Structure 1
Amino acid sequence: MSLKQQLSEDMKGALRAKESARLSALRLLLAAVRQKEIDERIELDDAGFVGVVEKLIKQRKDAVAQYLAAHRQDLADKEQDEIGVLGAYMPQPFTEEELAALIGSALAETGAASAKDMGKVMAWLKPRLAGRADMGAVSARIKSALA
């Protein structure tokens, strides 16, 4: 079952269970997916769907930080709940060992020797890590490996 089909089934389940907060987050995701499909005139596959979910989660995390800075715990909690609902559509993240092995093979394959080669390494890693690792943390690990 594709992620879009799973979303549709989850929405039906949330409607039947009268879970209004979960249903709201699922509708938000469906709207974002449809908007992306209309804007680009394509039918999103699972990889494109995960990209939309990543973007929405990042937006929610930014909003949580802003709400906490403004001392609005109630709104921050609502955003955290939405992150939890959206996170169910993300693939399983890499373990530390898998990530270290992938970074090691990226450094070997690209022949990276200094920080100038950072772009080559990130370009090699990005499609392999899509949705399964925080690219900011990966970037920091590569910088320390190249230093």
Structure 2
Amino acid sequence: MKSLKEQLVEDMKKAMKEKDKMKLSVIRMARAAIKNVEINKRKDLSDDEVVEVLAKEVKQRRESIEEYKKAGKENVVKDLDKEIEILSKYLPEQLTKEEIEKIVDEVISEVNAESMKDMGKVMQIIMPRIRGRADGKVVNNIVRKKLS
């Protein structure tokens, strides 16, 4: 099975041949982000670490969309949506709210969490389990609701 980085290179070549400028630019940006992390960590990234980088890129775009919507820049919002769509193909399937709630319930009972004081313990165990498959803000909100 190909690594995620190899898949990105392959898809980049395909986008070049198809003259798909948007896809090409997004994949190049993703590869640059991965390369920057590799340089900073001074090691090659595993597929899990690549997923983290790509999830971070998607998260940045989602946050930017909110700002551009407020500014009324619909054309930029459309471009960011396309970028998110392209990047999402490389991420694991996202968990539904119900699936996240189930994982949160399991972890809360595992660590016997009873109040907001235990939020750190709960989040520390949940995040590695769902890495790249759910937005941390969503998980955080669900944990807050369950513990309060």
TM-score by length of 1: 0.94
**Paired residue for 2:27?**
26
Shift of 1:73: 1.0
Tell me which amino acid in the other structure corresponds to 1:125: I
What's the offset of the Cα at 1:101?
2.4
Q: Which residue of 2 aligns with 1:77?
A: 78
Q: Distance in 2 between matches of 1:91 and 1:145?
A: 26
Q: Counterparts of 1:31-50 in structure 2 under 5 Å?
A: 31-50=32-51
**5+ residue gaps, structure 1:** none
SS at match of 1:69: helix
Whichever residue aligns with residue 108 of structure 1, its letter is: S
The corresponding residue for 2:61 is 60
For residue 77 of structure 1, what is the amino acid of its counterpart?
K
Identity of aligned residues (%): 37
Opposite residue 68 of structure 1, the aligned amino acid is K
Aligned to 1:90, what secondary structure does the other structure show? coil
Provide the C-alpha distance between the structure 2 equivalents of 1:97 and 1:63, rounded to a whole number of angstroms.
Answer: 26
Tell me how large the CA RMSD over aligned residues is: 1.2
The answer to which of 120-129 and 70-79 deviates more is 70-79
| Match status 1:106 vs 2:110 | no
Deviations 1:51-108 (CA, angstroms, capped at 9, x unpaired): 1111111111122222222111111111111111111111012234432321121011
- 1:134 deviates by 1.8
CA distance, structure 1, for counterparts of residue 63 and residue 98 of structure 2 = 28
* TM-score of the two chains, using structure 2 as the length reference: 0.93
Which ranges in structure 2 are unaligned for 5 or more consecutive residues?
none
- The total of aligned residue pairs comes to 147
C-alpha change, 1:75 and 1:132, in structure 2 (3 Å) is same
